[in-house]
Amino acid sequence: MLLVAVLFAVVALAVGAPAARGGGGSGPSPPFVNKGTVHVGVGEVAYIESPNYPNNYPTWQVTGWTLTAPRGHVLVINAEAFEVEGTTTPWYNDWLGFWELSAYTASYGRDGVTGPQNLRTQTNSVFVKFESDRSVTFSGFRLRIETAPQ
């Protein structure tokens, strides 16, 4: 059953299914911008921001980051600023999601203004994905990332 679910997800991404892409409709997926890995050491603070922050982020783009902490530590993520296009339908419009060890952790953006507060990961690594659709844009977000003992 797990293999079927994984294959469905891969096929959905490959054909650009609306639920996999966000933003609805048909056609190609938005371009992906890999921002790389951000390592946060013990006692350090790191920040990630939506593209062009504090100015409006671009339409039709997917941006990804991998955040890591030293072994024995987790990441604590707080939004210092958060303004994206809100929605009443999951995975449409603009959204911010977090995944750990191939498991979905949390998403933000449905109301357009509530970002993560004290989001504590279960592991020392998380993938962060921000996706904007083809319509309106806002100033986006600035996330503060710190470490804490596991």
Provide the whole-model pTM.
0.78
What tokens does 34 get?
A: 């890999």
* Full set of structural domains in the chain with CATH: 30-149 (2.60.120.290)
| 4-57 tens-digit pLDDT | 232 223 223 332 333 334 444 556 889 999 999 999 999 999 999 999 999 999
Q: Would you state the pLDDT for residue 83?
A: 94
Closest CA to 25 of 112, 136, 137, 134: 134
- The DSSP symbol for 40 reads -
Q: Would you state the pLDDT for residue 29?
A: 86
Burial 28-59 (b: 16+ CB within 10 A, else e): ebbeeeeeeebebeeeeebebbbbebeebbbe
What tokens does 137 get?
A: 């844009």
Q: Would you state the pLDDT for residue 27?
A: 67
Residues 6 or more apart from 139 whose CB is under 8 A from it?
50, 53, 54, 55, 56, 57, 81, 83
Mean pLDDT of 88-116: 79
Q: 49 forms bridges with which residues in the sheet?
A: 142
| 27-39 tens-digit pLDDT | 688 999 999 999 9
Percentage of the chain exceeding pLDDT 70: 78
